[in-house]
Every structure is written in C-alpha cells, then in structure tokens.
Amino acid sequence: MLPVNRTNALLTILTQIKALRHTQQLHAKVIVHGPEEEVVLGSSLTNSYIQSNRLDLATASFDRIPPRKRNRYSWNTILSGYSKSKNHCESLRLYNRMRRDCDGVVDSFNLVFGIKACVGLGVLENGVLIHGLAMKNGLDKDAYVAPSLVEMYGEFGRMEDAQKVFDEITLRSSVLWAVLMKGEAGLGVDNALTLICLVKACGNVFAGKEGKSVHSLSIRRGFIDQSGYLQASVVDMYVKCRLLDDAREMFETSVDKNVVMWTTLVSGFAKCERAVEAFDLFRQMLRESVLPSQCTLAALLVSCSSSGTQRHGRSVHGYMIRNEIEMDDVNFTSFIDMYARCGNIRWLGSHSGNIEEGRKQFASMTSDYGIAPEEEHYACMVDLLGRAGEVGEAKSFIDNMPVKPMASAWGALLNAYRIHKNVDFAEEIAERLLSMGSNESSVYVLLSNIYADAGMWEMVNSVRSKMGMKGYTKPMGLSAIEVAYMVLSQVVEIVVPELEEMRAAHVVSIGSAALRSLTPYCEAGRRLMEYHMDIFKNVDVIVTPTTGCKPPGLPSHICTRTCSSNQETCCIS
C-alpha cells in the first residue's frame, strides 16, 4: 500500500488529466506499485474512464477493487456510468448485485439509478420494490428520488400512484411539477381535468410557451368552453408567466367571471406595475356588480404604492369604509405604506404635527384586530415619526422594538435624517445598513443626498467616489405625475453644463424627491410644481412620457424631449 501522501498525489493528478492515454498510463503505474486496491483511488480511476466514454475500462477498474472494500461512492460511480450510457439491463444487474453484496449503501443516488433502469426495461414490479426500499430508508420524499418515482409511474400510465407521490411532497420543485406534467401529457388528453393539471403545472414552473401550447390544445379539443375552472386556470397561468395581455384576452372571452378570476387579473397588473389597467379592471368589476374581496383591494393598494398615486388609494380606502369591509393585516399595512409613499402622511397625523393618530392606528393592530406587528409595521411607524420631525423618538422606537430591527426600519430612520438635515448620526446608520447587506447603491445615494442637503460637497464627492470605486451607479429617476385620472410615469434626467451651476441650483439636494407625485389641479400641487419649474428654468429635462399631453395651466419654464424617436414628444410651453 502506498503512503497516504503519494495516494493523494495520484488522486490530484487524476482530477487534472483529461486524455484517455494519460489515465491509462497512470493506471499502469498504480498496478505496478500495488495501490490499486485502494477504494478511493480505484473509484477515481473508474470515474476517469467513464468521463472518457470507456465503460469497458471503467468496469475493469471497478472489478479490481476487492468486494469487501467497495463502498457507496465506488458503487454509485459505476452505476452512474451504465445509467448515462442507457445500458439499463447491466445497470439493474449491478444495482441488484450491490444490494446483495453490501449492506447500508442505499442512498438517493443509487435509488435513482435503479428507478431509471426499471423504467428503461419496462419492469414496473422492480420499480415498486425500489419505491418500497426508498420508503423504508426515508428517502421517498427526497429531492432526487421523488421526481424519479413520479416519472416512473407516469411512464407506466399509473397517474394515480404518481399523484400520490406528488401530493406527499410539501416543497414541490419545478422539476417535480415538470415530470408530473410530462406524465399527464403522455397519457393523451381526453378530458378537461387533465388539461387543468397541465395548465397549473405550466404556471407553477413559469413555462409560458408550454402553457400556450396547452391552451391551444384545449381550444382544438373543444374543452375550453366547457369548463369555467379551466378558463380560470389558463388566466392564472398567464398571470404567473407575466403574459398579461394573453391573460386579459382569455379573461374577456370567459363567461363565468367570478371574483377569483377578477382578483387574479387585477393582482397580475398590479404586481407588474401596470396600475392604470389594474384600476380599469377594478372599475369594470364594479360596473358588472362583482363584489371585490380583501385580496382584490390589497392588490390595488400595492399598485397605488408602486405608482405613487394617492387619488386611487384614497378611493379604495373610501370604498372599504362605505361598504364596511373589514380591514385585515395585509390591507392595514398596505394603507400605511401607500400613504407614506404618496407623501401624504397627514392621513396618519404626522404632517399636522400631531402623530397621535398614527400611534393610535399602530396600537389598534393588537388591541382591536389581534394582529402582531411585523417588520413592515415597525418600519412604517419609524417613517411616520421621522417625517413628523420626531427623529429622537423614532430612534428610541427602534431601540425598544421587541424584535431585532431590520434594514427597512433603519432605512426609514436614515431617510428621516435626510428630510430634517440631521448629519450627525447619518453615517452611523448608513454603516449599519451596509453591514446588514442592504442595497449598497441606494444607501450610498441617500447618504450623498444627506450631505448635499447640508451643503457638505466634499463629503458628497467622497461618497460618490466610493460608489464609483465599487462599481455602483444611480439609476435614472422615475417620476409619476397624476393628471386628472391618468398617471404619467416619466424618466427624468437633469442635464447641467457645469458642476457649480448644479450646486447653485440645488439640483443635487432635490434630485431624489423632485416631481415624484404631483397633482397640478390642486393648489398645493400647483405651488410645488411652480417651485420646481423655477428651480429648473435653465435646465433641459429629458423625459420619456407614456403619452403626449399638456396639463393645462402649468408654468412655461420647461422644455421636454423624448429619449427615443419612437415615442411622442411632450412639450410644455
């Protein structure tokens, strides 16, 4: 037997050589010097021959390992070679030989090799025995074994058994869904239930292309018009695959549009930040006398938060109050988030200097609704306190939280420091956020804005330099202007010829907040718009509008042009 260090050296060489002749030369040296019986070295030689597609030499190498020394690794190595070469007969023979000669070598890998051999040979009885062995060893729900069992039963047309295995798996991977779908398709489609299973499987693995094929098949076979549940499943599949136009087309042709189907589509548009279409659907839903559920309203609030449109959020709030719809924890959190993001904290009491309403709402979660506050709720409360100027209380609130403060709470506090130009603790909070793995780019940008608001331009340059060295960039800002009942999302880029002019115009200090969510038709919004137009009167602003329009009565201080030629130019003059 060779010394351990020499055996390790040979193993290292085996991992590096690629050519078959080099493997054979090394194998000859091993035979001459006698360490061939070493199970690790013998198994590695076997694997090298398999990688060179020489199964005959791999088998010879494996056979030279004494039976008493063969372990799980050596058996799995030779089994993998025969399984990959689709030599199912020899693979099953080796599997049975392993079971006869060695105890305690069963694992998920050799079980899968055995199952594949049974499928390849068409011997279900042996496959059922292997299934029993997997259950005995607690491996029937293994991430590798379970899909192989489902596929095996599907190949033999035993879909009830395949479904039983599938149903017992709690965490269903995309692989598991795919093999179930393959089994269903292999049997042929003779009823709507099979198509429903296929459509759901496509949605769960985000297989939009395959889902479209199943949808087409359901139309050709005439099943789509017979089953409302199939229609709802198709809509759900398209939404999950983010094919919203296809989802709406299927929805419009459906006869039985229940609240679940409406909610599925509304939620899809909301999650994909297509707020206008989400609210169009909601209005259509009400016109057709379909009562929305709490899930429908929660989806709409998500849409309001992402687009920064308060008018629609307030209409949802009013609808819930008028119709006495009970507010659950999801709706409660969504309302706080929506009002905060839309910049109207007055609804929660903080803009007027009286934050008692905010405290009352927070306390009512547990006292009135029995809802334990979670990370998002604490972060919203910190945001309320911070925006109201109670920065010290916001910091104390975080320090006394019954749970460990997460990045969202510290981020809200850092934003409060920006609003109130509190530089003293900003760096400390920023470092804390960076250590928690928060989005580093956004933290640096916020810290830079804090320094800019305080006129600390050297610190601004320092932070920006750090961003440059780390390869971070600030994405072009997104603004949302609410005009009547339309929300225009625009990408705004400030172009200033000289740095000193930019500093003089305070562009940096207001860049992150300017033109975020303005309503030109209300007096407060008009005054804010006029202020920003005055700031930017000598600055070109490049925008990408969703539609060309000229809001009436706006100041004539801004000229806009589109970034690309395929969109309309929106000029305010």
Q: What is the pLDDT of residues 126-159, one digit of tens each?
A: 999 999 999 999 999 998 999 999 999 988 988 8
Q: Across residues 283-309, what is the average pLDDT?
A: 83
| pLDDT given for residue 12 in this prediction | 74
| pLDDT given for residue 127 in this prediction | 95
Highest mean pLDDT among 286-295, 353-362, 525-534: 286-295
| pLDDT given for residue 496 in this prediction | 36
Better pLDDT: 249 or 256: 249
Lowest mean pLDDT among 191-205, 343-357, 539-553: 539-553
CA distance 378 to 384: 10
3-state DSSP assignment of residue 186: helix
Better pLDDT: 342 or 160: 160
The secondary structure of residue 68, as a DSSP letter, is G
Closest listed residue to residue 449, CA positions, set 370, 512, 402: 512
State which of 473, 490, 508 marks the end of a domain. 473
| pLDDT given for residue 547 in this prediction | 36
State which of 70, 87, 118 marks the end of a domain. 70
Lowest mean pLDDT among 82-91, 161-170, 475-484: 475-484
Give domain status of residue 142, yes or no: no
Q: For 515-559, what is each residue's pLDDT tens digit?
A: 333 333 344 444 444 444 444 433 333 333 333 333 444 332 232
Residue 462 pLDDT > 50: yes
CA dihedral 547, 553, 554, 560 (to 10 degrees): 40
Give domain status of residue 61, yes or no: yes
| pLDDT given for residue 37 in this prediction | 54
Q: Tell me what percent of the residues of the chain surpass a pLDDT of 90.
A: 23
Whole-number Cα distances in Å, 198 to 187, 352, 537: 12, 56, 59
Better pLDDT: 492 or 267: 267
Give domain status of residue 429, yes or no: yes
Give domain status of residue 414, yes or no: yes
Give domain status of residue 371, yes or no: no
Non-local CB neighbours of 202 within 8 Å, separated by 6+ positions: 181, 208, 210, 211, 214, 237, 241
Q: Across residues 235-253, what is the average pLDDT?
A: 94
Highest mean pLDDT among 226-230, 265-269, 329-333, 504-508: 265-269
Residue 476 pLDDT > 70: no
Residue 399 pLDDT > 60: yes
Categorize the per-residue pLDDT at 187 as very low, low, confident or very high, splitting at 50, 70 and 90.
Answer: low
Closest listed residue to residue 362, CA positions, set 353, 148, 350: 350
Q: Which element (helix H / strand E) includes 481?
A: strand 477-483
The secondary structure of residue 518, as a DSSP letter, is E
Q: Across residues 419-434, what is the average pLDDT?
A: 82
- Give the domain extent around 450: 393-473
| pLDDT given for residue 548 in this prediction | 37
CA dihedral 131, 133, 135, 138 (to 10 degrees): -130
Categorize the per-residue pLDDT at 186 as very low, low, confident or very high, splitting at 50, 70 and 90.
Answer: low
Phi-psi region of 308 (alpha: psi -120 to 50; beta: other; left: phi over 0): left
Give domain status of residue 273, yes or no: no
Residue 119 pLDDT > 90: yes
State which of 41, 70, 99 marks the end of a domain. 70
- The number of folded domains in the chain is 2
3-state DSSP assignment of residue 2: coil
Residue 242 pLDDT > 90: yes
Q: Tell me what percent of the residues of the chain surpass a pLDDT of 70.
A: 74
Whole-number Cα distances in Å, 374 to 17, 356, 381, 388, 438: 55, 20, 11, 22, 18
Q: For 16-61, what is each residue's pLDDT tens digit?
A: 777 888 888 888 877 776 655 577 888 888 888 998 899 999 999 9
Q: Across residues 497-505, what is the average pLDDT?
A: 41
| pLDDT given for residue 499 in this prediction | 38
| pLDDT given for residue 123 in this prediction | 94
Give domain status of residue 24, yes or no: yes
| pLDDT given for residue 439 in this prediction | 66
Give domain status of residue 467, yes or no: yes
| pLDDT given for residue 118 in this prediction | 95
Better pLDDT: 472 or 228: 228
Place of tokens 């803009």: 351
| pLDDT given for residue 33 in this prediction | 67
| pLDDT given for residue 386 in this prediction | 84
- Partners of residue 302 on adjacent β-strands: none
Q: Across residues 182-189, what is the average pLDDT?
A: 66
Residue 113 pLDDT > 60: yes
Long-range Cβ contacts of 301-305 (<8 Å, 24+ apart): 301/331, 301/334, 301/335, 301/337, 301/338, 302/270, 302/271, 302/334, 303/269, 303/270, 303/273, 303/274, 303/275, 303/278, 303/279, 304/275, 304/338, 304/342, 305/334, 305/337, 305/338, 305/341, 305/342
